[in-house]
Amino acid sequence: MRRIITAIVFLALFSGEVFAQAKVQTVVDAEVAFNKAVAKKGIKDGFLSVIDDEAVVFRPNAVNAKEFYTRIEKQPGNLSWQPKFGRISANGDLAFTAGPYVYQNSAADTDKVYGHYVSVWRNDAEGRLKLLIDLGIQHPEPESTEIIDLKDPTGKVLAPAKDPFAPKRLIMGTDDTFNHSLAISTVAGYKEFLSPEAHYYFPGFEPLIGTDKIMKFVSNEGISINAKTTSVGRAVSNDLAYSYGTAIIKKGALSSNYNYVRIWELDASHKWNILLEVFSAVEK
């Protein structure tokens, strides 16, 4: 029996893949623990307790999160959020959640700020999920309850690529291609790259879910987008990736600066599609 088990393990390692083991509940638990840490320690110390050494926050542009939160004074107020949308890679090394948040100056304060957050998580050297990217938008108080969309991965666990930079180059190229498509035609670009389950977060608007709603929004708003990639990352299991960068969005004669974060997923035909995109305005 021991020989049989050893042979199975050897074959799995030799082939570089085994069946998926990661569960999306892992990143949900990390997000809930993060929320509790912020409630107990405050915003500054709560963030410092979970962020990766290379974590990025947008204040208003991309800066190192650890340096930012170490430098600032403790922030007042109560911040809470709920993960409603999330995925984790088959290897469990990359994940994200997104959902609604509420901010109040104090527990008794009736003046609340509503919005949606996006958190990207990755494993550290000890295999613990750490917060890598944090970005959010504000919008009016939601009129309806958001449907929960948390799914386990369906792919297989893979061995690391022989060239560690190849996966990043692929996602960088994909993000650049999408940005080029947007510059030519916003509608056509989204039509080509959106996942059927895509979520779209834009400041001042409640989340748009599904290609039909997103395409209608983009078409009705009549916006043009000129975006540039800053950085990317991809799961070892080649099923989940992220990118972030800057964008200039024009509507008529008006032009505004934004940061963006995208979550990419690989579909059954091995095409990378956008599962989530969020734009955050760069306040002057």
CATH of the domain at 89: 3.10.450.50
Asked if residues 149 and 233 have their Cβ atoms less than 8 Å apart, the reply is no
CA dist 260 → 3, 46, 76, 179, 228 (Å): 51, 24, 27, 11, 9
Half-sphere exposure of 261 (CA within 13 A, CB side): 23
Q: Is residue 264 located within the same domain as residue 219? A: yes
**Rounded to 5 degrees, what are φ and ψ at 65?**
-65, -40
Q: Are residue 205 and residue 236 in the same domain, yes or no?
A: yes
Last residue of a domain, one of 158, 193, 208: 158
DSSP structure class, residue 17: E
Asked if residue 68 and residue 90 are part of one domain, the reply reads yes
259, 264, 275: which is closest to 57 by C-alpha?
Answer: 259
Gap between the Cα atoms of 262 and 218, Å rounded? 16
pLDDT in tens for each of the 284 residues of the chain? 434 333 333 333 333 444 457 999 999 999 999 999 999 999 999 999 999 999 999 998 999 999 999 999 988 889 999 999 999 999 999 999 999 999 998 766 678 999 999 999 999 988 899 999 999 999 999 988 899 999 999 888 777 777 767 778 999 999 999 999 999 999 999 999 999 999 999 999 999 999 999 999 999 999 999 999 999 999 999 999 999 999 999 999 999 999 999 999 999 899 999 999 999 999 76
Domain end (from 118, 141, 158): 158
Residue 191 lies in a domain: yes
Q: How many domains does the chain have?
A: 2
pTM, two decimals, is 0.90
Q: Helix, strand, or coil here: 151?
A: coil
Same domain, residue pair 153 and 177: no
Same domain for 54 and 103? Answer: yes
Q: Looking at 129, 158, 187, which one is the last position of a domain?
A: 158
Domain with 182, as residue range(s), is 166-281
User: 23 and 130: one domain?
Assistant: yes
State the Cα–Cα distance between residues 94 and 27, nearest whole angstrom. 9
Residue 46 lies in a domain: yes
Residue with tokens 């939601």: 142
